[in-house]
Structures are given as structure tokens and as C-alpha cells.
Amino acid sequence: MTVATAAPAVDHTVVHRVHGRLRCRAPRLRTDEAYAARLAAVAQRDERVADLRVNRRAASVTVRWAAPAPPQVHADVHLAELFRDAELASAESVAAPLPRVGDRFTRLAVPGALAGVAGLGRLLGFTLPGPVGAMAVLAASWPIARRAFHSVAVERRLNLDVLDMTAIVLTTLRGSLLAPLSVIGLVEVGEAIRERTARASRRELLDLLDAIAETVWVEREGARVQVAFDEVRRGDVVVVYPGDRIPVDGRVLEGRALIDEHQLTGEPMPVLHEEGEVVYASTLMRDGHLHIAVELVGGETRAGRIVQLMRDAPVHDTRIENYAGRLADRIVLPSFLLAGAVLLATRNPTRAASILITDFATGIRVSVPTAVLAAMTKAAQAAVVIRSGRALEQLAGVDAVVFDKTGTITEGYPAVVGVESVTSDLSRDEVLALAATADQRLSHPVAEAVVRYAAAAGVVPGRRGRWAYDIGLGVRAEIGGRDVLVGSDRLLDREGVDLSPTPRLMDASSRVYVAVDGRLGGVIAYEDPIRSEAGRVVASLRDEHGMDIHLLTGDKTETAHAVGRRLGIDAANVHGELFPEDKAAVLRTLRADGRRVAFVGDGINDLPALAYADVSISFGGATAVARETADVVLIENSLDALPTAVAAARQAMRLVRQNIGIVGGVNLAALTVATAAGLSPTTAAVVHNGSTVVAAVNGLRPLLGADRRRRRMPEPHREETADGR
């Protein structure tokens, strides 16, 4: 008797994990090529593993778990078992991978089919086609046969492919080639079109931290060293410079910096962070430098939790909802029973085959995705990419649209909305000129907005002498022999400037103050401007399409309500100061109330809401991860195309219903005749295929109409602006 011994533990360390995926290092992989091969083969056999990649040079293994992904404690156990099994496995035991369903079908079904065709044909007295014709039908029906075999052998159910394959076999055994080949052609054309309605790029659940540099500066033993991002640990001190993304969640130990948190929190303006304050991974440092005590890394950070929320969101088949498949579940068994009854009553296999040919679902399987693909193409001509047939179907039924504010309803960057002088010594243009002169060549977004506004107003900045920029406060400059301060109220308070003459500008506006020689000279108001098209788009969706409009933001609540009032959005539908998980909760509440919800957003903080929406919408210029998550992408970064996309989706679903009526009516009549009086398989195929062609052409109407409109439409008139653009 052989006594089994436990394999020694293989040394490995998890260096990074997010929900459903982890990466670890195992030094043995670098030196033991055979062990690496056994590990890959063992993982291929393990149903818990969706994918495993080995990088021997880095001694690294990346594992992606099959859905549903295990919790962390189970994932660690599974990982240890993989290493143990690879240690125990012999080279021979893992040399040949397990056969897949398709391979088993190839080995078992093909010889059976070739031998069975002749035997069954002789038994039933059928007139067989010639060998060339039989092989042509067999080759052409191969994809249908594979799907039918999988449905019966693996899913244990009858589906539309089983029905189609039965009709093909019966008509082929009768010596007919036209009928089975026409059915095969329609089925595969429909399947190909249906696949074209799938997303062009698979929805990847991207790791937000992938945008961070692979190396990080860390202080260790009094020296500043550059280490791999995966090697950063809790308790380390990382150093971040302008232009870098912060790699961890942590507390500032030293320094001060302006940090752009727009993509994470929705705050449109850079935020000043100083000693003792908390900063977050994936935010962008615009100015300054920070020494940060690491508190959370990887999947533990706020950005990592956003990834997990997105991974936990439901994932759907991205093709057009399978009307044919759902219909097949109801008609396959009745069709077989009816064909069997006719065969028993008439002893005529031809009539039985005709009944199987005149099914409803094959025509629907062609005509429905044709209409959807035409609508997606029409939307693309209007600069809207609808990424899947399912997205178009869901968009047609949307009755609530939820907008993120920053970067979606608003432009996402500051713009000057007013300049006012508070002293008779300075004109409005002089206040603007002093501010633009002091702010020139600064990278702060508000300073850039002041310079842009001055240029548009024809105000030319002058020359500045000595100057000093105080991060988060403003700038002091010597201009024309005068001491000029341009910045926040905190800067002027610190310098002892009296702010009491400040005028009341727009309530929702932020302000930049301009002081000259210790006295307040003027005020510049700025804000994140609302997109010029936002008002008419909101009105169109609400009034023409009957949708409920909501506004969400991580920005201040009072700012959100001010924007909502200007757009005519009900105050009860406006929510401010929301974290990403709060936005997703609002969408889940709306869906629980029976609403079909579309969400429009562009940032990292919008990802959970984008993932939980029935239809997620973003812009061509949004962050890469938001753009890849979205079901609908507005290429030209304008909301104007959104009502067009909704109209195209609703037209497509009207055509889908028409096509179901066309195919269903014609085939119902043919089925009645085939049952009562009989139809030849060829006649049944002609009637069935003819109704399918008519419905498919009907589905192409959006494209035909779009072509005619483009031919008639004159070129749009473009008025030249003052700057010649």
C-alpha cells in the first residue's frame, strides 16, 4: 500500500489583489520551468480559475477567478491548493488538457453523424442526396450542430438550434438540398448579425490604479529610493511630485499641494492639502509636493473599493435581447409534438419536416438584430456609439435619466463670469489686466481661466517684476512699481487687506480678489460653467421623451441646487456631497422603484453608478475607464446627441415589434396550411425565408431614411466668431 504524503508548501506572497483577481510572487517559478508549466496546466483544469498567467522572469503569477469570485480568505486557500497540486502533479498527468465540449463533440458526434445519416435514411426509406451534397449540408450545418449538441448534452434543454438541426437532418434525408441550405443560411446570417450587436470591445473591469506609475518614491532608512508600486506597504512614507498620481490613501506628514480630485470626488477645483490631512489614491497632484504616510494600498483604497463596487455590479449578455431564444423555449417542444403527431397521422416525413421549417423564431433571429444593427449604425452617423444591442434595447425603455454634474452637466473646469472694480482708481479692464499679468504662466486652473478671459476681452497682460506664488492661496507680484496681490480671501486676510468693499456678485460664484498696495481693487467671479446645450437637452428628455431627470454630484449641495434651478430640475431630484457608493445607491433605489435608469457621467467617481445603471452613458473625452465602462459613448463630448440616441433606440424597438408581427403572421398561416393540407419542405422554406427577408428589409429603414436625409440636407451654416474660428 502506498501512503500519500503531503506536498511541501511552495513559498508565495500575494502582492496585489482586487475583487476577482490577485497577483503573487513565487521565487521558484524563476528557476523551475517544469513547475511553472505544471502550475499553468493545473489551473487550466481547475473550474475555479478563469485565467492564470505566469511571468517567470518576474517570478509572478496573476490569477483571475471564475465568477462568482471567492472572498479573500477562500481565494488564498484556492491559491495555496493550486501551488500544492502543481507540486504533486507529474509531467505526464498534466501533459494533455481536459477535453472541452467542442472537442468531445468533434470526436463523438461526427463519426456518429456520418454513419447515422446513411443508416437512418435506409431505415426510413428516404432518398439520400449524393455524397457531395450531403457533405456540403454537413459542413454548412456544423455551427448549428455544435450549438444544438451543447444545448442537449450540457444545458439539458431543447432550444432553437435543436429544432433547426432536426429540420435540416429530415429535409436532407429526403434528398432535398435547397430547403436545408436555405435554413442554414438564414440561421447563420442571423447569428452573425446578432453577434455584430455585441460590444465591439469586451467590458473590462479595469483597475483604476493601473493609471499610477509602476514605481514610487519611498523614504527608507533616511534615504529616498524608487521601488515597485507592488512593494509599497502600510507604514511606508511615499513622496509625490507635481504631475504624479497619488498611489495610496494616506495622511500628509510634510508639505502642501494642490490636488485635483475631480475624477474621484466630483470637486471641480483643485483642493489644497497640508500636514495632517488625508489624500487619496488616483488623485492628481497639480502643484507642490507631499510626504505621505501610507495607510491603505491597492484594493483597500477608496479607488480600490470603487473597483470592487463595479465588479459586483450585474453583468449582462451584451447582444440584443434574444427574442428568438426566449420564444424557442416556448415553441420548440410544441413544434416537435405537432410534427410528431402529423408524422403518426399521415406517415409522411415531408409534412413533418415542413412544420419544423415553418417556425417563428428563425425569422425573428434574423430580422430583430438587423433592425438593431441598422439603428446602431444610424446612431454612429450622429456621433453616438451604442456599444451593444442590449444597450439599445434598454435605452429605448429608459424613463429616468441621472446626470452627474461636474464634467457632464458642467464643463468641468473654471471660467470667469464677471469682473468688478471696487475703487475709482481702477477701471474694470485695469483690474483684469493686473490679475492676468500676475497669473500669467501659472498652472493653476483659476489662473489659466483669468488669462483666457483677459485674452478673449482683448486685454493684454503687462510685465511683472519679482513675484512669488503661495500654493493654494495666490500670487504676489510687482507690476509697474505697485505691489499686487491676486488670490483667495485667505491670502488677503493674511496680508491685512480689508475686504469690506467686496461687491455681491453671483451667489453661486467663487471669487478671486485683486489688491493693489494693500487696498482691495477689484473682484473676479468664476465658476464651473454649465454646458451651453445642457438646458435644451434636459428639456427635450423631460418634455418630448417623458423622462424624469435627476442630478447627482460630489460637489457642495448648495452648488448642486443652484445648477438644478437653472436647468429646471426638481429640487427633490438633486443630490450633492455624494461619494461614489452613494451615487450607486441612488440608482439602485430608482431601479427598485421600477424605473429603467440611464446614468451620464465621465469620471472615476461615476464608475459604480455607470456599472449599476440600466444604460451607462459617457463621452469620448472622458477618462478611459469611464469610456470603456459606458454602454453609450457621445463621441463629440456634447450632450446634444443624447436625445437623438434615445429616438433612434425607440424607433428600432418599434421596427422590432413590426418584424415580429410580419414573421409571426406569415409563418402562422404557413404552419396552418402545413398541418391541415401539407406543404413541401421547399415551399415551406420559400414562404419562411420570404417573410424573413421582408422583415429584414423593414429593419433597414433607418439607414435608408438617413441616407436620403443626408442627400437632401444642405451643409450647416457656420458663423465665424470674433477670433476667426
User: What value does the mean pLDDT take over residues 444-461?
Assistant: 91
- Identify the band that residue 113 occupies on the pLDDT scale cut at 50, 70 and 90: very low
- Give the count of beta carbons closer than 10 Å to the beta carbon of residue 139: 9
Give the highest mean pLDDT range of 68-72, 224-228, 673-677: 224-228
Nearest to 294 by CA among 275, 305, 274, 280: 280
**Reading across the β-sheet that carries 21-25, which strands appear in turn?**
13-18, 21-25, 60-65, 49-55
Report the alpha-carbon distance of residue 236 to residue 294 in Å, rounded: 5
Residue 202: what pLDDT? 37
Which tens digits make up the pLDDT trace of 55-101? Answer: 787 788 888 888 777 777 778 888 888 888 888 775 444 443 433 33
Tell me which of 194 and 200 has the higher pLDDT.
194
Nearest to 600 by CA among 609, 590, 592: 609
Pairing of strands 574-575, 548-552: parallel
DSSP for 246-315, please give it.
P-SEEEEEEEEEEEE-HHHH---S-EEE-TT-EE-TT-EEEEEEEEEEEEE-GGGSHHHHHHHHHHHS--
Name which of 59-68, 121-130, 225-234 the model is least confident about.
Answer: 121-130
Residue 424: what pLDDT? 86
Pairing of strands 482-487, 510-516: antiparallel
**Which DSSP helix (H) or strand (E) runs through 479?**
strand 474-479
Number of separate helices (H) and strands (E) present in the chain: 25, 24
Name which of 197-201, 481-485, 712-716 the model is least confident about.
Answer: 712-716
**Highest CATH level, class, for 208-312:** mainly beta
Report the alpha-carbon distance of residue 148 to residue 164 in Å, rounded: 9
Superfamily of domain 415-527: Calcium-transporting ATPase, cytoplasmic domain N (3.40.1110.10)
Cβ-Cβ contacts under 8 Å for 386 (sequence gap 6 or more) = 375, 376, 379, 380, 392, 395, 631, 632, 645, 648, 649
- Identify the band that residue 120 occupies on the pLDDT scale cut at 50, 70 and 90: very low
- Identify the band that residue 450 occupies on the pLDDT scale cut at 50, 70 and 90: very high
Residue 4: what pLDDT? 41
Report the alpha-carbon distance of residue 486 to residue 442 in Å, rounded: 12
Give the highest mean pLDDT range of 182-191, 339-348, 504-513, 609-618: 609-618
Residue 195: what pLDDT? 62
Tell me which of 688 and 10 has the higher pLDDT.
10
Tell me which of 243 and 593 has the higher pLDDT.
593
Which tens digits make up the pLDDT trace of 284-302? Answer: 888 888 999 999 887 788 7
Name which of 181-195, 199-213, 506-520 the model is least confident about.
Answer: 199-213
Residue 482: what pLDDT? 92
- Identify the band that residue 181 occupies on the pLDDT scale cut at 50, 70 and 90: confident
Report the alpha-carbon distance of residue 616 to residue 601 in Å, rounded: 8
The CATH number corresponding to 13-88 among 3.40.50, 3.90.550, 3.30.70, 1.20.1740 equals 3.30.70
Query: Does residue 251 have a pLDDT over 90?
Result: yes
Locate the domains of the chain by residue range. 13-88, 208-312, 415-527
Tell me which of 102 and 670 has the higher pLDDT.
670
Matching fold, domains 13-88 and 415-527: no
Give the highest mean pLDDT range of 179-183, 308-312, 626-630, 657-661: 657-661
Query: Does residue 724 have a pLDDT over 50?
Result: no
Q: What is the mean pLDDT of the chain?
A: 77
Q: What is the pTM of this model?
A: 0.60
Query: Does residue 623 have a pLDDT over 60?
Result: yes
Report the alpha-carbon distance of residue 6 to residue 457 in Å, rounded: 80
Task: Provide the strand spans (E) within 27-155.
Answer: 49-55, 60-65
Residue 399: what pLDDT? 93
Residue 111: what pLDDT? 38
Nearest to 553 by CA among 485, 597, 599: 599
* Three-class SS state of 648: helix
Name which of 121-125, 323-327, 485-489, 607-611 the model is least confident about.
Answer: 121-125
